[in-house]
Structure 1
Amino acid sequence: MTTWFITRHPGAIDWARAQQLQVDHFVSHLDPARVQAGDTVMGSLPVHLAADICERGARYLHLSVDLRAECRGKELSVQELRQFNARLRPFLVTALPAVTDTTPRTS
């Protein structure tokens, strides 16, 4: 079983190390095909990738941060991540069938 931490932010990597998380691979992008049943994937993934991870039988831990609007788009330090209550939360994400009819409805 492999543990992945997915982020492109150096502060998030520093935060994970400060938490003493056992991580096998820190990567900025994850190909879901590399994930196997029993793996753990941590980070802030788009919902469709999180669903792919869960469908493969892996565990998804979302890096949740209570970020203020004015701090978005800014690189955060370990201290700032702690200030904004960074934490890993398990999620089970399931994709539903695609909606094929995207024609706007009129009343």
Structure 2
Amino acid sequence: MTTYFVSRHPGAIDWSQRQGIRVDQQIEHLDIARINPGDVVIGSLPVNLAGAVCAKNARYIHLTLDLPYDARGVELDAEDMQRYGAKLEEYRITRVTA
């Protein structure tokens, strides 16, 4: 089992390290082909990628922030993330087919 932290943002990486979150691989982009059953993927993925993680019987843990409108699209540092309530929340996502 491998734990991946998916982020290209230095503030998010710094925040995760300050929280003592242990990861095996820090990556900027998720290649879904690398994910195996039992792996853990942490990040803020688009729902289709998060669903693909779950479809592979891996765990998806979302990095959640409560951002005000004026903080969106701005590079945040670890202190900003703490101020905006950064936390990890596990989700199980299933695609619904017609």
Aligned length: 98
Equivalent residue, structure 1, for 2:84: 84
* Structure 2: distance between partners of 1:77 and 1:44: 16
* Structure 2: distance between partners of 1:53 and 1:92: 9
* Structure 2: distance between partners of 1:10 and 1:32: 22
Instruction: List per-residue Cα deviations over 1:11-57 (Å, max 9, x = no partner).
Output: 00000100111101111101111000011000000000000000101
Q: TM-score, normalised by structure 1?
A: 0.89
Equivalent residue, structure 2, for 1:102: none
Instruction: Structure 2 unaligned segments of length 5 or more: list them.
Output: none
Partner SS for 1:5: strand
* Structure 2: distance between partners of 1:25 and 1:67: 27
Structure of larger gyration radius: 1
Equivalent residue, structure 2, for 1:35: 35
Q: What is the 5 A alignment of 1:1-107?
A: 1-97=1-97
Q: TM-score, normalised by structure 2?
A: 0.97
- Paired amino acid for 2:54: C
* Structure 2: distance between partners of 1:50 and 1:67: 21
What is the aligned-residue identity percentage?
Answer: 47
Instruction: Structure 1 unaligned segments of length 5 or more: list them.
Output: 99-107
